């Protein structure tokens, strides 16, 4: 193992934009990925795994955009051992100031026999070739034996040694299916350290199928791993990955266990990062989520309340302010001007200008007429919604009227404007939200199936802003849309139209690609 100062720093490798996006139902476009990546840079993670460039043209473009525009963290991208995959990965990463190619291949008997149709010898050959190709592009190469925890130890060591000998500088040991148990996984990391020679860093990548992803990651760190692969809010395939906020705060709070080990993460940005990722992915954070959940610093029990009022440390091991959970001191209202609005956003670390700022300010004034005080969380939602609507949107919502109740059929009328002019449409539904969606489909002449719907309250109170995320599907294309308002029906209509606009753009792009390919 490499020795020295670097060994006392725990590298935080965020894979929210790659493994996190593989959560069922999440589909981020390039602009949304860039927004999250910029927040991850403010959070000060060491690496951002921006995507899997060979997976699609959209993924390639998103990785490329992040590599071009995001400063601070090193940018990584995933690649199979196929040489063409590695080449494509490098093309996407080229503009980044610091870049890493992350090469992987499956090594468990189940994966080799059922998926790869390869022998052990073939996997070794692929590993050497893929890693060597990546090392020809960059000195920062990571290698992962997929499904490591179900791979025979002798073969895994042989593959890892081949990767190091071919130029890998980071060896990642992924618990791909969440099979590991902390003491067993820690022992595995220790075994790798002892039996693989060379100059490299060990990393963990733990899934949460048994609810042990964070525990396994920390066991790996205790056994010598100096990089952890994590996702904001614990997103990821199936039950998710180790949660970034949990790993970071565990290392910070239990410095008695992780002596001399620190991260460079700005923990005061954790709550804001969590909220942004929740809104853009449509995956709400559970109320009792550690560190960033709504109830993380709430106390119901009288005994707990008494203790906290006397001294917060009696029942809180984390200072709420240290993770950005302090209740907002920023209060804006309908009388606030553009300068105050822009200045507040800047202090929050949100830098938007020009048309985007104008649109966000207009939306802010609309909501301020209905809500007495606009909080920092509200502002984040307003900006997120406006950044989700772009100049290329084909349709915009001009008017919405709904009627419903216990008597009669719910009905909605919308007025939609586009380059072709203004169109009004009326429809009925099994509720006012459904009626609004049906009316939008009629007005835009775009049909889609609603496959997902979620609504959450951004802040408390009777004038709370509702945040709605819808997912639509048409002809095999799936998109998500977001909308906010103090009226949940209006928020739903805005989210529905946002998704329709995305669907329209996606279908146009697909038609263009099909014309290029030809019959």
Q: Which CATH number fits domain 9-281: 3.40.640.10, 3.20.20.70, 2.40.50.140, 2.120.10.30?
A: 3.20.20.70
Same fold, 9-281 and 396-516: no
Asked whether 110 and 150 are in contact (CB, 8 A), the reply is yes
Closest CA to 497 of 455, 452, 436, 453: 436
Token pair recorded at residue 513: 């690609």
Q: At what angle do helices 83-93 and 120-137 cross, to 10 degrees?
A: 30
For position 513, what pLDDT does the model report?
Answer: 62
- In eight-state DSSP terms, residue 294 is T
Identify the three-state secondary structure at position 458: coil
Residues 6+ apart with CB under 8 A from 151: 107, 108, 109, 145, 159
C-beta neighbour count of 320 within 10 angstroms: 15
Half-sphere exposure of 112 (CA within 13 A, CB side): 18
Residue ranges per domain, the chain?
9-281, 338-387, 396-516
Give the chain's end-to-end CA distance (angstroms, integer): 55
Identify the three-state secondary structure at position 359: helix
**What is d(CA 326, CA 330) in angstroms, rounded to the nearest whole number?**
11
Give me the sign of the Cα torsion angle 459, 462, 467, 471: positive
C-beta neighbour count of 416 within 10 angstroms: 24
Residue 479 CB-density burial (10 A; 0-12 exposed, 13-18 middle, 19+ buried): buried
Backbone angles phi, psi at 76, to 5 degrees: -120, 155
**What is d(CA 25, CA 43) in angstroms, rounded to the nearest whole number?**
25
For position 305, what pLDDT does the model report?
Answer: 45
Question: In which residue are the tokens 């180790």 written?
Answer: 242
For position 201, what pLDDT does the model report?
Answer: 97
Token pair recorded at residue 251: 């290392």
**What is d(CA 115, CA 109) in angstroms, rounded to the nearest whole number?**
10
pTM, 2 dp: 0.74
Q: Distances from the Cα of 118 to the Cαs of 33, 85, 235, in angstroms?
A: 35, 18, 31
For position 371, what pLDDT does the model report?
Answer: 64
**What is d(CA 322, CA 347) in angstroms, rounded to the nearest whole number?**
17
**What is d(CA 115, CA 122) in angstroms, rounded to the nearest whole number?**
13
Question: In which residue are the tokens 């970034």 written?
Answer: 244
Q: Report the Cα 191 to chain-centroid distance in Å.
A: 32
**What is d(CA 290, CA 296) in angstroms, rounded to the nearest whole number?**
6
Token pair recorded at residue 395: 């349709």
**What is d(CA 152, CA 234) in angstroms, rounded to the nearest whole number?**
28
- In eight-state DSSP terms, residue 327 is P
> Across 81-169, where does the E strand assignment appear?
99-106, 141-146
For position 4, what pLDDT does the model report?
Answer: 44
For position 399, what pLDDT does the model report?
Answer: 94
**What is d(CA 389, CA 243) in angstroms, rounded to the nearest whole number?**
29
Asked whether 324 and 369 are in contact (CB, 8 A), the reply is no
Architecture of domain 396-516: 2-Layer Sandwich (3.30)
For position 299, what pLDDT does the model report?
Answer: 40
Instruction: Print pLDDT tens along the chain (519 aa).
Output: 444 444 489 999 999 999 988 887 787 888 889 999 999 999 999 999 999 999 988 899 999 999 999 999 999 999 999 999 999 999 999 999 999 999 999 999 999 999 899 999 999 999 999 999 999 999 999 999 999 999 999 999 999 999 999 999 999 999 999 999 999 999 999 999 999 999 999 999 999 999 999 999 999 999 999 999 999 999 998 999 999 999 999 999 899 999 899 999 999 899 889 888 988 887 888 777 878 776 665 544 444 444 545 555 555 556 777 776 754 444 567 777 777 788 778 776 677 778 778 888 887 887 777 666 676 667 777 776 666 555 567 899 999 999 988 888 999 999 999 988 999 999 999 999 999 999 999 999 999 999 888 887 766 666 677 888 888 888 877 777 888 888 899 999 999 998 898 888 777 767 766 655 444
231-260 CB burial, b ≥16 within 10 A, e <16:
bbbbbbbeebbbbbbbbbbbbbeeeeebee
- Count of positions (residues) in the chain: 519
For position 387, what pLDDT does the model report?
Answer: 65
């Amino acid at each position: 193992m490499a020795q020295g100062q670097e060994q006392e720093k725990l590298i935080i490798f965020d894979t929210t934009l790659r493994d996190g996006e593989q959560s069922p139902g999440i589909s981020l476009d390039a602009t949304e990925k860039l927004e999250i990546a910029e927040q991850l840079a403010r959070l000060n993670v060491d690496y951002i795994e921006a995507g899997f460039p060979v997976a699609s043209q959209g993924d390639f473009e998103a990785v490329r955009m992040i590599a071009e525009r995001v400063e601070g963290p090193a940018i990584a991208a995933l690649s199979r051992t196929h040489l063409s995959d590695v080449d494509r990965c490098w093309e996407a990463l080229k503009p980044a100031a610091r870049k890493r190619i992350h090469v992987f291949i499956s090594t468990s008997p189940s994966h080799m026999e059922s998926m790869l149709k390869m022998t052990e010898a073939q996997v070794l050959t692929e590993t050497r070739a893929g890693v060597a190709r990546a090392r020809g592009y960059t000195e920062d190469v990571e290698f992962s034996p997929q499904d490591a925890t179900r791979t025979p130890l002798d073969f895994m060591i042989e593959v890892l040694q081949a990767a190091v000998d071919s130029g890998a500088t980071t060896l990642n040991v992924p618990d791909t299916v969440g099979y590991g148990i902390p003491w067993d996984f820690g022992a595995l990391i220790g075994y790798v350290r002892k039996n693989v020679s060379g100059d490299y860093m060990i990393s963990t990548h733990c899934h949460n199928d048994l609810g042990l992803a964070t525990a396994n990651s920390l066991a790996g760190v205790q056994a010598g791993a100096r990089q952890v692969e994590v996702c904001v809010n614990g997103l990821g395939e199936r039950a998710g990955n180790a949660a970034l906020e949990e790993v970071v705060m565990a290392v910070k709070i239990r410095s008695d266990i992780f002596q001399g080990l620190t991260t460079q993460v700005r923990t005061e940005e954790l709550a804001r990062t969590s909220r942004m990722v929740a809104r853009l992915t449509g995956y709400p954070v559970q109320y009792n989520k550690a560190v960033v959940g709504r109830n993380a610093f709430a106390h119901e029990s009288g005994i707990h309340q008494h203790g906290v009022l006397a001294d917060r440390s009696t029942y809180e091991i984390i200072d709420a302010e240290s993770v950005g959970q302090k209740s907002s001191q920023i209060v804006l209202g309908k009388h606030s001007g553009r300068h105050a609005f822009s200045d507040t956003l800047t202090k929050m670390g949100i830098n938007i200008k020009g048309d985007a700022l104008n649109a966000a300010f207009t939306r802010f004034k609309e909501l301020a007429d209905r809500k007495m005080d606009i909080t920092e969380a509200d502002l984040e939602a307003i900006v997120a919604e406006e950044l989700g609507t772009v100049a290329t949107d084909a349709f915009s919502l001009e008017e919405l009227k709904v009627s419903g109740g216990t008597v009669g059929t719910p009905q909605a009328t919308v007025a939609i404007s586009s380059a072709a002019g203004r169109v009004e449409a009326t429809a009925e539904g099994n509720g006012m939200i459904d009626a609004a969606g049906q009316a939008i489909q009629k007005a835009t002449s775009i049909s889609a199936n609603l496959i997902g719907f979620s609504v959450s309250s951004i802040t408390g109170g009777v004038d709370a802003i509702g945040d709605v995320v819808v997912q639509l599907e048409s002809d095999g294309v799936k998109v998500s849309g977001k909308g906010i308002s103090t009226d949940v029906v209006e928020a739903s209509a805005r989210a529905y139209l946002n998704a329709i606009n995305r669907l329209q753009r996606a279908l146009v792009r697909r038609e263009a690609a099909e014309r290029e390919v030809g019959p």
